Structure 1
Amino acid sequence: MKLMKTTIASSLLALAMAASPALADGPVAERSGTEEQASFAADRETILAMAGDYRVRFDMQESTPWREGYEPLERKISGGHESVRVIEDTGTRIVLQHLLVVDAGGTPMVIKHWRQDWEYEPARILAYEGPGRWAWEEVPERMRAGRWAQTVWQVDDSPRYAGWGQWETTNGVRRWRSNWTQRPLARRDAVRNLVYDLYAAINRHQLTPDGWIHWQDNTKMDLVEGGEEPVVQEYVLNTYTRFADYEVSAADEYWAATQGYWQAVRAEWDRVAQARGGIAIEEEAQTGTVISAELLGMGDDILSGSLPEAEAIARAVTLIEEHTTAL
């Protein structure tokens, strides 16, 4: 009986994930060249507006249990200071790098955080398939025009998740909403005694008068025989409020010292994804991937001057090559 219920639940969720974005939105309505140009310019302005220095509040709340007997976790709120920098802008591609600045006993310490890449009218995205696997997924051709893909990368520049959607203004609020995406567990869940394996989610980004918000609607899923089973709903609201009364210079000093290294790391992940049809690497609860800690550590060593950049790049390339496998 449990297997039958699981199969039905999985089938319904799969149907919803496949159909809902298209049924909800459909192709972007046909626009004149002038309207298209104005919309594209507004999209770019909105994405670029997410760069800056912020006080960040992370608010996570499990709510509705989908599995009988599951008790939702208590609400968790945390925060910090984060600098977001534009590290690439080709017009149709914008890359934003997030850098956390924390107080380490009176000395500012920078932690390279997540990265978000925005691509206009993408043909495909690098989507999370399940534990340790990210594969290229075609964006339906009729859903490309006027839309942007957002790909989110982990702290070591390995992939995390990707989705596509349209920037639009609704009720006076500028926002972007993704299609259904899957992504690996965040550290807060991965380090616990697991009762779920991944998230099925919709992501929203919206500008506010003093910054922006990233809102996540997460269904936490359990991989079971025959498919996936929903366990609990979670709502995450990450609020970025413009604020520069912290050691912003530490973030810029870190990036000035390490950007060449991280550019090479990004290039190697991209090469592997292109050559192998995606990326397969073992996940690790504390850091995301089994090589994340070493990749991040070498960035710190470059900053301190204890490791030459060229040596770090060579080691990083070797690590990525040795720990990734064919899909």
Structure 2
Amino acid sequence: MKILNLILVLTGLFAVSAHAQGKFEQDRKAIKSLAGFYEVNFNYGEVSSPNPGYKFSKPYESHGNEWAEIIVDEPNRIVIQHMLAINDTTVIKHWRQDWTYEDTNIMLYTQDNAWKKGNLTATDVKGKWTQKVYQVDDSPRYQGIGAWSHVGGHDSWSSETDSPLPRRESTVRKDYNVLTRGSRITITKNGWMFEQDNKKVLRTPEGDKLLAIEKGYEEFTKIDQKTFAYAQKWWNNQQNYWADVRNVWADIIGSNDTFKVKTMANGKLLYETLFTLGDQSIKEKWTAAQNKEKVKTALQPYLAK
């Protein structure tokens, strides 16, 4: 009887382990399917406010062609770099998403372009993936944690976390300073959907004040790869430089419990400074060591004390 019980226990443990491994591979497959060549439609609109006198902002709509390329594919870490293809001669290195599995390291946005390290335990992150989103200049934007679901053949992931103002409002709105993002990613037959339930919050020492709730979605629909020929050529030349930029940022983030980033210094935006250095690096054939040293120096005026 003891032997039979032991066999049953071991069989059960094996089944649980196999299920967990199968779920993990499903998660990885879903994340990797976010990569590809897309036409993207952006739609955002405020839908409610606790303030009866609140003046709703005008709905935002936009579209573009975006290439999402897997640049790191490790068992517990998948990194996807996005590029906007404006036309046959212009490309913008866009946002980046790093997916990490059961990762206890997380940076939480506070307000006014500042972040602090969060405290997560192994229990907090068990079976979950963190999506770490970065700006065009590879500075952090927001990080959210959640579990992938694969019910009924539908792959989806969701989280809620604080972030800076969206770029579409960061230069025109001063009445709130934190966007609490409720994000949901769903894989579709022709691409994927990035839905958002966002809260626009004014954060002060007295607490948080909700201004408005916003609904949004970004629809990624697969299109022909040939639209991105110039973008692929540009990235092929630039990718080593930007790998060095990421490494410099990783050192900064890893060595500080809190930090704040200024978007403007010496009359130049942060992304302008780093993009200019990238062009110079290619032209003058800098080594990785030269790239890192010049990027470190360039970033110093943008790191607030």
TM-score range, shorter chain: 0.7 to 0.9
1:316 is aligned to 2:295: yes
- C-alpha displacement of 1:120: 0.4
Which residue of the other structure, out of 275, 293, 296, is the alignment partner of 2:275? 296
Task: Provide Cα deviations, 1:124-173, integer angstroms capped at 9, x if missing partner.
Answer: 21121111211211224322111100100000000000010000024542
Are 2:148 and 2:155, in contact at CA under 8 Å, matched by a contact in 1? yes
- Alignment correspondent of 2:8: none
Q: CA, structure 1 residues 193+185, in 2 after alignment: closer, same or farther (shift >3 Å)?
A: closer
Q: How does 1:256-271 map to 2 (within 5 A)?
A: 256-271=236-251
Q: CA, structure 1 residues 317+225, in 2 after alignment: closer, same or farther (shift >3 Å)?
A: closer
Instruction: Give the CA RMSD over aligned residues.
Output: 1.9
Are 1:62 and 1:72, in contact at CA under 8 Å, matched by a contact in 2? yes
State the AA in 1 paired with 2:198.
N
- Alignment correspondent of 2:89: 108
- Alignment correspondent of 1:70: 54
Work out the CA distance in 2 between the residues paired with 1:300 and 1:232.
41
Work out the CA distance in 2 between the residues paired with 1:218 and 1:302.
39
- Alignment correspondent of 1:277: 257
Task: Provide Cα deviations, 1:66-124, integer angstroms capped at 9, x if missing partner.
Answer: 23311211222101000000000111000000000002xxx431100000000000112
1:175 is aligned to 2:156: yes
TM-score (normalizing by structure 1): 0.82
Q: Secondary structure at the match of 2:52?
A: coil
1:39 is aligned to 2:5: no
State the AA in 2 paired with 1:309.
W
Q: Secondary structure at the match of 1:124?
A: coil
- Alignment correspondent of 1:196: 176
Structure 1 residue ranges without an equivalent (≥5): 1-30
Q: CA, structure 1 residues 226+169, in 2 after alignment: closer, same or farther (shift >3 Å)?
A: same
Are 1:117 and 1:150, in contact at CA under 8 Å, matched by a contact in 2? yes
Task: Provide Cα deviations, 1:225-280, integer angstroms capped at 9, x if missing partner.
Answer: 50221101111100100002653121211111111111111111110111122432
1:248 is aligned to 2:228: yes
- C-alpha displacement of 1:321: 3.4
Work out the CA distance in 2 between the residues paired with 1:169 and 1:42.
8
Work out the CA distance in 2 between the residues paired with 1:51 and 1:292.
23
Q: CA, structure 1 residues 193+116, in 2 after alignment: closer, same or farther (shift >3 Å)?
A: closer
Q: How many residues align?
A: 286
State the AA in 2 paired with 1:32.
V
Q: Secondary structure at the match of 2:118?
A: strand
Are 1:197 and 1:221, in contact at CA under 8 Å, matched by a contact in 2? yes
Structure ID, larger Rg? 2
Q: How does 1:146-225 map to 2 (within 5 A)?
A: 146-170=127-151, 172-178=153-159, 180-225=160-205
Work out the CA distance in 2 between the residues paired with 1:297 and 1:160.
21
Are 1:135 and 1:279, in contact at CA under 8 Å, matched by a contact in 2? yes
- Alignment correspondent of 1:139: 120
Are 1:131 and 1:283, in contact at CA under 8 Å, matched by a contact in 2? no
